[in-house]
Each structure stands twice: as C-alpha cells, then as structure tokens.
Chain A
Amino acid sequence: MEERMETLIREMKNGDQRSLARLISCVEDRQAGWKDVMKSIYPGIGKACVLGITGSPGAGKSTLAGEIARRFLDRGLSLGIIAVDPSSPYSGGALLGDRLRMRDISTNPGVFIRSMATRGALGGLCQAARDVMRIMDAAGKDVVLIETVGVGQDEIEVVSASDYVVLVTFPGQGDGIQAIKAGVMEIADLFVVNKCDRDGADVMASEISAMLELSSEAGQERPPVMMTSAFTQEGIDDLCGVLSEFINQKKARGKPQRDHVRNEVLGLLEREMVGMLRERIMENGKLESALDAILEGKGDPYSAAEELMARVHLVRSRPGERKEDTRG
C-alpha cells in the first residue's frame, strides 16, 4: 500500500479528524488505492454498532439523529454520522443540508459528521456508504448513525446494511399507510412517529401498530412504535433507551451473516464486471456506430445491446494456452 495511505490510517486510528476525512474521500471517490485501504482496515472492524435512520423527506431524521447523538455523547460514547442526500441527476451536483440540523453537536470532538451525496452510479451508493461506515468503525467510533431518505432500492439497501433500522414518520403526510408502503416496512426494527406535538400523531401510531399486527405471524415479536418530538423533547430519552439496549446486545453478538457477505461479494464483483464490460464496449467504438444506426432508423436498442455483448470476449484464451490479456 502507498505510504500516504498507511500514514493516514495510522493518524486516523490516533484520532486525527483530518486523516479520517481524507480516507473517507479517498474511498468515496474510489481514488487509486481505495481497495488497499479497505483491505487494511477490514480485519479490525465490527466493533461499532450501526444504526440506520430512514423516512420520507421532512420527517425530521437529521434533527432526531442530532438529538440521539447528543444523548449518546453525554453518556461518553463516540459517534460517526453519515448523512446521505441525493445528487442531482442533471448536474451531478448536490446540496447537502443535513449538517444544518446538528449544529449543537458539530464541534464536539466525540462526533464526526460526514455528508454524502448519492452520486447515482450503478448501485455504488450502498457499497460506498458501507465502506464509509467501516472507516468510521476502524476509527474507533462506538456508534455509527446513517441517515438517508428511504426512497428507491439503493437507499433501502443502504439502511438494510445497518444493524438496526429506525423508520421515522410524522403526522400530516397522508395516512399512516402512505408513509410506509414503499417496502420499507419490512426492514424497520423500530417505528418512530416524530413531531408528536402535532395533531394526529397518536392516530398514526395506532395505524402503524395495527398494520404491523396484520403483517406479523402470531407469537412473533413486533417492532415497537414510539412517539417523539424534537421540539418538546418528548419521547427522545425513551427512544435512546431502546437504542442503547440494542447497542449493548450487539456488543455481545458479532459475526457478520453469510447472506450479507455473499451479497457484498457479488455486488463488488458485479460492479467490477460492469465497469470492465463498459470500458471494452466504449473502447472499440462500436457503441457510437450502433447509436448512429438506431438514430438513422436502421436498428433498435435491443439488437444493438445483443450485438455489442457478442463482440466482447471475456475470456480470450483457452486454459493451457494462457496468454497475458492485453486489456487488463
């Protein structure tokens, strides 16, 4: 591994914030050597408890994350917070405003807040976010909070990579069903009805409870439904109580599950393969001529994709006559 990376990792483990920030950028940007960083820190991780916070825009996720973080800091825990916001599909830029809601804690040395844009590349968010969680874990954080809008496959995958998922809803966004119908219900370990100082919070909470009752087997434990208000501070201590109980359990647990590891290895492999394929298809210039043909009305996208695929030779030599692949 590059010496610069080694120094950064050493400094990060000594608690240097700038080195931690630099390593996150290196991995998030997929800069040269990012895999070496991940390989190097992987053996020591698994100590941090990862809490996922998801919910629709405006539900109060960032504010709630800030409140939870403040209480954990008071108890002497160290935290990493990853706040994910969408990139613009048009410009590729992003406006990341979650930090704005956590200003009370922003200079506390026990917390490290990092905003992350989705960047929208090939299911890359999930892996990149997971990598950032691991770096914070390696930096010695006790708890990593990741908050993201739970919309779309990619973002749901992000939170499902965490140890415990909190789904935040609030009264006034239609009925309870509206808030939780997009397939996020299944991944939540805990439901929070935030802004409970507003009208309709208890109706919403009972609707969610009723739905959970319908969807769960008899005798099976149902996820709790809690009510909070960051404005009046109601219920937040109780929420933190449930979360710290889970954190303590997790300390006794450990070991990643086989299914998760399989998905991750397959995911990394897919990404690598798609990148390689794309590079080869772009390279021989056939893509552009296929596009020309389609635009001139002489072809269709389906045949073009098939033909391009047929031209790519993944394996160029048979076993026994192995030659060095010129396209590495």
Chain B
Amino acid sequence: MVQESRIRVLIAKPGLDGHERGAHVVAYGLRDEGFEVIYTGLRQTPEQIVSAAVQEDVDVVGLSILSGAHLSLTRKVMEGLKAKGANDILVTVGGIIPEEDREALERMGVGGVFTSGSKIKDIAAHIRTRLGEMCPHEEENRGLFTEGTQATAGTGHEGQ
C-alpha cells in the first residue's frame, strides 16, 4: 500500500494583530513546497490555536506575530500544547521578533524563529530537518525528503 502522508502545518495568528500578509505568504509558500497548510485566520486565542493543532494533528505550528506580544502569546501556546500532551509538535515563530528575544523563545521550546526576509525554501528545509531529527523512523512515511515539485504520491509518478 502506498503511503500518502504529508507534512501538516498550522499557520496561526494569535492576539490582536491585523496584519496577515506575512502569514499568507508563508502559507502559500509552504503549500507549494508540498505541505498541507491549515490557516486559522486572524485574532486567534492561544486556546483556539492549541485546539486546532490537536484536532488537525499537525506536525508543525507556525505562529505569526507582529504585535510585539510574541513572548507572552508564544508562552501561552506552548503551555496549552503541553497541557494537552501535544508538546511534541514543532512550534516556530515568525514576524517582527527583536533579535534579543530569540533566545527567550528558544528557551520556551520554540524550534525556529523566522523574521521578515526569511526565505520560504529555508523555512521548509528547516521544518523537514527538524521533523527528521524528532522522529527519524518516520522520515519515509512523512515524505520528508520528497521534493516540492513532485506530484502527489500514488498517482503514478513514483518509482522513477
């Protein structure tokens, strides 16, 4: 039986922040990299984000924050995921993040900080690498090393 797994990513915008262009760009870009991207829309509470991450069984949560509240919002999301036993999900943060806050975010368990100017290819590569490290035995299942340009698995393009 052909495995049909795909990396699933939740792109979420927590808090009072109306700027979603960056989140859109990342969502479209990751889709083109072959990921399944779930987009939550603006002004989500940390509870909504945690609940979406659990129900959608995503591999990655990408938080987009431009409001300056990245430390407290990210902390709440991390705590929420932990409370649901879902702290194995990779969390990345993007947006306007001062360089001096990077370390604090990483201490919370954030597995990647991408400020403006980050390249989609780099974000995708980072996600593939981190997921590969987290569950090496699932590398093949998850299609971690398939290129974004490959058509859907199981449609006759495999086995070349």
Residues of A within 8 A of B (CB): 17-18, 20-22, 24-25, 28-31, 87-97, 99-100, 103, 106-107, 112-115, 117, 119-122, 124, 275, 278, 282, 287-288
> Of residues B31, B33, B40, B48, which shows the largest number of chain A Cβ atoms within 10 Å of its Cβ?
B31
The answer on a CB contact under 8 Å between A124 and B6 is no
Contact of A30 among B3, B36, B40, B150 (CB under 8 A): B3
A30 to B160, CA, bound (A): 22
A278 to B157, CA, bound (A): 11
Pull 26 A–B residue pairs with CB atoms less than 8 Å apart, ordered by A.
A17-B84, A18-B57, A21-B55, A29-B3, A29-B141, A31-B141, A87-B152, A90-B149, A90-B151, A91-B32, A91-B148, A93-B32, A94-B36, A96-B36, A99-B39, A99-B56, A103-B41, A107-B48, A115-B36, A115-B56, A117-B6, A121-B153, A122-B155, A124-B4, A275-B1, A282-B159
The answer on a CB contact under 8 Å between B154 and A124 is yes
A115 to B55, CA, bound (A): 9
Contact of B41 among A30, A91, A100, A112 (CB under 8 A): A100
Residues of A within 8 A of B47 (CB): 107
Question: Given A29-B5, A92-B6: A120 and B152 within 8 A (CB)?
Answer: yes
A253 to B73, CA, bound (A): 49
Looking at chain B's contact residues, the main secondary structure is: loop
Residues of B within 8 A of A24 (CB): 57
Looking at chain A's contact residues, the main secondary structure is: mixed
Task: Mark interface residues in B1-25 (1 if CB within 8 Å of A CB, else 0).
Answer: 1111110100000000000000000
CB distance from B144 to the nearest CB of A (A): 13
> Of residues A24, A28, A30, A113, which shows the largest number of chain B Cβ atoms within 10 Å of its Cβ?
A30
Question: Given A17-B55, A30-B2, A122-B155: A99 and B148 within 8 A (CB)?
Answer: no
The answer on a CB contact under 8 Å between A96 and B6 is no
Known: A107-B47, A282-B158. 20 other contacts (CB 8 A): A17-B55, A22-B57, A90-B32, A91-B148, A93-B148, A94-B31, A95-B31, A96-B38, A97-B38, A99-B41, A99-B52, A100-B40, A100-B41, A103-B40, A103-B44, A106-B52, A114-B56, A115-B56, A119-B4, A288-B160
The answer on a CB contact under 8 Å between B1 and A99 is no
A288 to B37, CA, bound (A): 34
Interface presence of B60 (CB below 8 A): no
The answer on a CB contact under 8 Å between A88 and B85 is no
Question: Given A100-B41, A106-B52: A91 and B33 within 8 A (CB)?
Answer: yes
Indicate the size class of the contact surface on chain B.
35 or more
The answer on a CB contact under 8 Å between B31 and A99 is no
Residues of A within 8 A of B31 (CB): 88, 91, 93-95
The answer on a CB contact under 8 Å between A18 and B85 is yes
> Of residues B8, B27, B33, B86, which shows the largest number of chain A Cβ atoms within 10 Å of its Cβ?
B8
CB nearest neighbor in A for B147: A91
Residues of A within 8 A of B150 (CB): 92
Interface presence of B91 (CB below 8 A): no
Residues of B within 8 A of A93 (CB): 6, 30-37, 148
Interface presence of B51 (CB below 8 A): yes
The answer on a CB contact under 8 Å between B154 and A121 is yes
The answer on a CB contact under 8 Å between B39 and A97 is yes
Residues of B within 8 A of A100 (CB): 39-41
Residues of B within 8 A of A30 (CB): 1-4
Residues of A within 8 A of B39 (CB): 95-97, 99-100
Interface presence of B156 (CB below 8 A): yes
The 7 closest A-B pairs by CB, nearest first: A21-B57, A100-B41, A93-B31, A282-B159, A29-B5, A121-B154, A92-B152
A236 to B159, CA, bound (A): 50
Interface presence of B28 (CB below 8 A): yes
The answer on a CB contact under 8 Å between A29 and B4 is yes
CB distance from B16 to the nearest CB of A (A): 15
The answer on a CB contact under 8 Å between B154 and A18 is no
Task: Mark interface residues in B33-77 (1 if CB within 8 Å of A CB, else 0).
Answer: 111111111001101100110111100000000000000000000
Question: Given A92-B151, A95-B28, A120-B155: A113 and B55 within 8 A (CB)?
Answer: yes
CB nearest neighbor in A for B53: A21
The answer on a CB contact under 8 Å between B48 and A106 is yes
